[in-house]
């Protein structure tokens, strides 16, 4: 015990998030007695996110750990900053939505802070139980957040489905972790790696079963097929800001945990799990993109789109190496910026139109050309169109996977990316080709169109946050070097020379 490092300054970003969550809850509960304006809650949440993200930079290019439980290195810093950026972006872009739709705002923002804390612990974990605790903190926070839209009956239904299926997935994962612990005799990543590198002849069956259960449990968290069935209902029923967090923070946290596990303790038994992830990657990208073709609700469309994106990400985990890990982190960064751009624009649209139906986006290029531009650029980026973030990051990701011998899987991924362009174009066609609701028909004799002014504006906050995300999507597509260097530095931690 005396050799363990209990330097709590290493956990300053996590402590900021935890303390901020407590303050937000108490401030909301006693806002009348303290005469506090509830509009301060989103501002304080953003400040906490920025503080956590900025303090994370203090440990760049260092390698330390807290009591051998949590690693503090470039990999952890990469995800701390990514999670903080996501939290700040979602809160700024959705505070109008929350003020109108969410009754218990303190609980809502506290759940976001705790979910971010849980994801950060998952990314930094160096031990099985610590990783599980972080995952459960993330999950339970989102269970509550999904069901907080009291005025929408779909929210309670989505929360119930999410918590029931999430409980089964957590039990599955925990059983799998217990089998790995039994096979290795330790919960420490370093000790597990050492044991498995020495040979697994005596524990082949429990180890294989443990791997199957761990992949199934984590597959639920990242919405991989066939563990994805909760995703469209949870996305549709959850408040829009929660859907954004589900698509970004929840997935990024699970990907971080996958990378830590499969590049470290489970790397010596790569032959036992590589084929499983390759099969799941294939089924996920195919099912996600094909089912997305049938959707009429924008949140369900983005749910299946995100499932397809997970299939691409699993390519890098299946072909785990320093190159593929770096490519995955790059793609994850570009995907997060792009996906948040879509969701922030959809939230701004919902604030005005009060609709999530894809059909109601018709004529948006005329009523709000700026939002139509943001959504178009983001959807093209998700499909992998050149000059945007999705093209650059997918190209590097697919290239890394192809170099590791999975050219056939990369070919399928390219075909699925092409298919995804079709259902994205359906949304874009509605915005640019169809007439908006309320537009008069042309005069049958003269053909002239006497059109009233149907234009409407987004709020300054929505305009600012979507502008930053749009510029980020373009910048990463044209010049991804800074993000790629950060991804390289983070991935190098997983594969030390």
Q: Where are the domains of the chain?
A: 9-437+456-494
Tell me the pTM: 0.94
pLDDT at 142: 93
pLDDT interval class at 290 (50, 70, 90): very high
Hunting for tokens 């700024």 — which residue is that? 92
**pLDDT confidence bin for 445, thresholds 50/70/90:** low
pLDDT tens figures, 345-396:
999 999 888 888 999 999 999 899 999 999 999 999 999 899 999 999 999 9
Cα distance between residue 373 and residue 349, in whole Å: 13
Mean pLDDT for the stretch of residues 52-59: 92
How does pLDDT run across 190-215, given as a tens digit for each residue? 999 999 988 888 888 999 999 999 99
Q: Is the pLDDT of residue 152 over 90?
A: no
The DSSP symbol for 435 reads: P
Which 8-state DSSP code applies to residue 152?
Answer: -
Q: Which DSSP letter does residue 432 get?
A: H
Show the tokens assigned to 249. Answer: 């923070």
Residue 451 is predicted with a pLDDT of: 56
Tell me the pLDDT band of 458, cut-offs 50, 70 and 90.
confident
Sequence-distant (≥ 6) Cβ neighbours of residue 472 within 8 angstroms = 337, 341, 389
209-268 pLDDT tens trace:
999 999 999 999 898 988 888 889 889 888 999 999 999 999 999 999 999 999 989 999
pLDDT (average), residues 292-307? 92
What H or E segment, with its residue span, contains residue 70? strand 70-72
What is the rounded CA–CA span in Å between residue 79 and residue 73?
10
Note the pLDDT tens digit of each residue in 317-355.
Answer: 998 988 999 999 999 999 999 999 999 999 999 988 888
pLDDT in tens, 76-86: 999 999 999 99
Token duo for residue 461: 């906050």
273-278 average pLDDT score:
92
User: Distance between CA atoms of 119 and 83, rounded to whole angstroms?
Assistant: 8
pLDDT score for 446: 56
Residue 125 pairs with which residues in a beta bridge?
70
Q: What is the pLDDT at residue 151?
A: 77
Q: What is the dihedral of CA 478, 316, 466, 458, to 10 degrees?
A: 140
For residue 351, the tally of other CB atoms under 10 A from its CB is: 17
> Mean pLDDT, to the nearest integer, of 58-82?
91
pLDDT value of position 353: 87
The per-residue pLDDT for range 403-437, each reduced to its tens digit, is 878 899 999 999 999 999 999 999 999 999 888 77
pLDDT class of 34 with cuts at 50, 70, 90? confident
End-to-end CA distance of the chain: 29
- For all residues of the chain together, what is the average pLDDT? 90
Amino acid 155: pLDDT: 84
Residues 203, 183 contacting (CB under 8 angstroms): yes
- Do residues 458 and 93 touch, judged by C-beta distance below 8 A? no
Task: Using a pLDDT cut of 90, give the percent of the chain over it.
Answer: 67
């Amino acid at each position: 015990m005396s050799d363990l490092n209990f330097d709590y300054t290493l956990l300053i970003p996590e402590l900021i998030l935890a303390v901020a969550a407590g303050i937000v809850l108490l401030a909301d509960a006693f806002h009348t007695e303290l005469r506090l304006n509830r509009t301060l809650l989103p501002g304080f949440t953003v400040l906490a996110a920025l503080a956590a993200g900025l303090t994370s930079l203090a440990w760049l290019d260092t390698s330390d750990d807290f009591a051998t439980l949590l690693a503090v290195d470039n990999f952890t810093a990469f995800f701390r900053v990514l999670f903080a950026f996501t939290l700040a972006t979602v809160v700024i872009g959705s505070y109008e939505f929350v003020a109108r739709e969410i009754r218990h705002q303190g609980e809502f923002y506290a759940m976001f802070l705790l979910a971010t804390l849980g994801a950060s612990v998952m990314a930094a974990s160096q031990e099985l139980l610590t990783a599980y605790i972080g995952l459960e903190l993330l999950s339970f926070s989102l269970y509550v957040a999904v069901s907080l839209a009291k005025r929408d009956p779909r929210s309670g239904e989505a929360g119930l489905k999410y918590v029931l299926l999430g409980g089964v997935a957590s039990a599955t994962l925990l059983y799998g972790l217990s089998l790995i612990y039994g096979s290795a005799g330790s919960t420490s990543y370093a000790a597990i790696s050492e044991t498995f590198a020495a040979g697994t002849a005596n524990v082949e069956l429990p180890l294989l079963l443990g791997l199957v259960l761990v992949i199934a449990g984590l597959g639920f968290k990242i919405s991989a097929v066939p563990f994805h069935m909760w995703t469209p209902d949870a996305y549709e029923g959850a408040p829009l800001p929660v859907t954004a967090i589900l698509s970004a923070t929840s997935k990024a946290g699970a990907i971080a945990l996958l990378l830590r596990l499969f590049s470290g303790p489970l790397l010596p038994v790569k032959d036992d799990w590589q084929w499983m992830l390759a099969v799941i990657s294939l089924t996920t990208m195919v099912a996600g993109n094909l089912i997305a073709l049938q959707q009429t609700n924008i949140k369900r469309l983005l749910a299946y789109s995100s499932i397809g994106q997970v299939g691409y990400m699993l390519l890098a985990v299946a072909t785990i190496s320093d190159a593929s890990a770096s490519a995955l982190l790059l793609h994850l960064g570009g995907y997060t910026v792009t996906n948040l751009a879509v969701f922030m624009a959809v939230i701004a649209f919902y604030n005005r139109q009060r609709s999530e139906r894809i059909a109601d986006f018709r004529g948006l290029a005329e009523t709000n050309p700026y939002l139509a531009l943001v959504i178009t650029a983001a959807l093209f980026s998700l499909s992998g169109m050149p000059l945007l973030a999705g093209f650059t990051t997918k190209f590097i990701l697919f290239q890394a996977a192809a170099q590791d011998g999975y050219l056939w899987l990369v070919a399928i991924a390219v075909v699925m990316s092409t298919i995804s362009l079709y259902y994205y174009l359906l949304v874009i066609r509605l915005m640019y080709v169809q007439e908006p609701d309320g537009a008069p028909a042309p005069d049958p004799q003269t053909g002239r169109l006497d059109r009233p002014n149907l234009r409407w504006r987004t709020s300054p906050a929505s305009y600012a946050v979507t502008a930053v995300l749009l510029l980020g999507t373009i910048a990463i597509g044209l010049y991804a070097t800074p993000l790629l260097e950060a991804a390289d530095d983070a991935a190098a931690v997983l594969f030390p020379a």
